[in-house]
Amino acid sequence: MMQLFKSSTKETMNFLRYVGPGLLVTVGFIDPGNWASNIAAGSGYGYTLLWMVTLSTIMLIILQHNAAHLGIVTGKCLSEATSLYINKGLKNIILLTAVAASIATAMAELLGGAMALEMLFHIPVKIGTFIILGIVLICQFTNAYSRIEKLIILFVSLIGFSFLFEICIADIEWKQALIGWVKPEVPKGSLPVVMSVLGAVVMPHNLFLHSEVIQSREWNLKDENVIEQQLKYEFKDTLFSMIIGWAINSAMILMAAATLYHGNGHSIDDIHLAGSMLTPLLGNAASIIFALALLLAGISSSITAGMAGGTIFSGIYDHPYDIHHKDTKLGVLITMIPATLIILLIKAPFDGLIYSQMFLAVQLPITIFTQIYLTSSKKVMGKYANSKRLKIILFMIALIVTFLNICLFVTGF
């Protein structure tokens, strides 16, 4: 019994030491854009669109696990592998669209942080955007990765558990929620919101980022036992982190449905009103605490968006992410600066958040099919190439996402 306890304790400690890359990716989809998508889903359609969070999270677990395997087995991130194994013309299209997705993500994160500053200090959104940009660039260019990782995990905990605790005391219609989680339904006019939820959860830039940050855990790629151990812990880290993400995203929709849904199919278009979701727990301080959480989410997820942009752009030149390298620095700036300039042109900030996430869903099939090609190739992955069953599952995911995109374009948004 004592031996079993020691073995279990050792296994748990090994896992806890490994936790990190998955949580860093988790914060990328607990962000202002995601908040806006969830609030729009819950306030406009009640519990009906919860199924999209469930489906998207299942997709995310499989795709993130698959992307991390690429990083562990090859020592290359998705961007580097694309540059190495796909012809130049196609490679450039794939990676440039991925950079565009990172820009769209960064735009939502910076905008969310700026909206929080407006709520807290009455700073105009456009001025607040430059303040958030400055904070983010300082963090990216001066902090060691390990310090950023710990900071972001702290942010996730603060933001997430506030919503999870809130649903314990709110008036949730749990029967309707259970139906919503498992029954696919697309009410009239809801497809843009459905796609924004999909893009906000299965963010393409996060697939690139996870395959990169997984390599922050250094190991000997020539030792098969080490690889097998890392693959095991990576799956646990991914599963643990993505389930947390599913719970927090679901909690946001549940709270929006319980406090903001009026049954008329019209989503709220003002994130300021979302602070009312926390009123049952926090009373008059709800709006301030909501704005503070939004600010932390905007800063932390802007950092991950910049890291993803740096990772993807470095990969174009077959370099790993290294904030001291000119390609990585340029990639971060190419992501953050255009995102800031786009915000200056936006007239309706909340709509900007929604449509930025919808754009991620539009780019997603390109990233997924690229990833399937690379992780299914024995030339790339050796004996760790995707099994036949995994290929089928991955292709089903790719086809579902592609079908939803076709529906979006057919209906004219």
**pLDDT of 246-281, one tens digit each?**
888 898 899 888 888 877 666 666 676 666 666 665
User: Quick one: pLDDT at residue 53?
Assistant: 94
Can you tell me the mean pLDDT for 228-244?
71
User: Quick one: pLDDT at residue 7?
Assistant: 43
Instruction: Report the share of the chain in percent with pLDDT over 90.
Output: 40
User: Quick one: pLDDT at residue 134?
Assistant: 94
- Reference 52, options 163, 242, 167, 180; nearest CA is 180
For the chain, what are the domain ranges?
Answer: 12-410
Can you tell me the mean pLDDT for 147-172?
69
pLDDT in tens, 171-212: 889 999 999 999 999 998 899 999 999 998 888 888 887 677
Q: Which residue did the predictor score with more confidence, 150 or 118?
A: 118
Q: Is the pLDDT confidence value at 401 over 70?
A: yes
Q: Which string of b and e fits 214-226 if b means at least 16 CB within 10 Å?
A: bbebeeeeeeeee
The three-state DSSP-derived secondary structure of the chain is CHHHHHHHHHHHHHHHHHCCHHHHHHHHCCCHHHHHHHHHHHHHHCCCCHHHHHHHHHHHHHHHHHHHHHHHHHCCCHHHHHHHHCCHHHHHHHHHHHHHHHHHHHHHHHHHHHHHHHHHHCCCHHHHHHHHHHHHHHHHHHCCHHHHHHHHHHHHHHHHHHHHHHHHHCCCCHHHHHHHHHCCCCCCCCHHHHHHHHHHHCCHHHHHHHHHHHHHCCCCCCCHHHHHHHHHHHHHHHHHHHHHHHHHHHHHHHHHHHHHCCCCCCCCCCHHHHHHHHHHHHHHHHHHHHHHHHHHHHHHHHHHHHHHHHHHHHHHCCCCCCCCCHHHHHHHHHHHHHHHHHHHHCCCHHHHHHHHHHHHHHHHHHHHHHHHHHHCCHHHHHHHCCCHHHHHHHHHHHHHHHHHHHHHHHCCC
CATH class of 12-410: mainly alpha
Q: Is the pLDDT confidence value at 388 over 90?
A: yes
> Per this entry, what is the length of the chain?
413
Q: Is the pLDDT confidence value at 151 over 80?
A: no
- Find the largest Cα–Cα distance for the chain: 65
In this prediction, residue 157 has a pLDDT band, given cuts at 50, 70 and 90, of low
Can you tell me the mean pLDDT for 7-28?
49
pLDDT in tens, 312-346: 998 888 788 888 889 999 999 999 999 999 999 98
User: Quick one: pLDDT at residue 131?
Assistant: 96
User: Quick one: pLDDT at residue 10?
Assistant: 47
CA distances from 82 to 54, 91, 211, 315, 375 (A): 29, 6, 12, 8, 11
User: Quick one: pLDDT at residue 269?
Assistant: 65
Q: Is the pLDDT confidence value at 139 over 80?
A: yes
How crowded is residue 124: how many other Cβ atoms within 10 Å of its Cβ? Answer: 10
Q: Which residues, 6 or more positions from 272, have their beta carbon under 8 angstroms from its beta carbon?
A: 115, 119, 287
Torsional sign, CA 57, 164, 185, 350: negative
In this prediction, residue 69 has a pLDDT band, given cuts at 50, 70 and 90, of confident
User: Quick one: pLDDT at residue 385?
Assistant: 94
User: Quick one: pLDDT at residue 133?
Assistant: 95
Joined tokens for residue 283: 């009373």
Can you tell me the mean pLDDT for 53-67?
91
Can you tell me the mean pLDDT for 59-84?
89
CA distances from 150 to 20, 33, 135, 136, 255 (A): 8, 22, 17, 15, 28
pLDDT in tens, 286-298: 677 778 778 887 8
User: Quick one: pLDDT at residue 262?
Assistant: 76
User: Quick one: pLDDT at residue 275?
Assistant: 65
Any idea which of 44-58, 300-314, 392-406 has the lowest mean pLDDT? 300-314
Q: Is the pLDDT confidence value at 300 over 70?
A: yes
**Alpha-carbon gap, residue 254 to 252, rounded angstroms:** 5
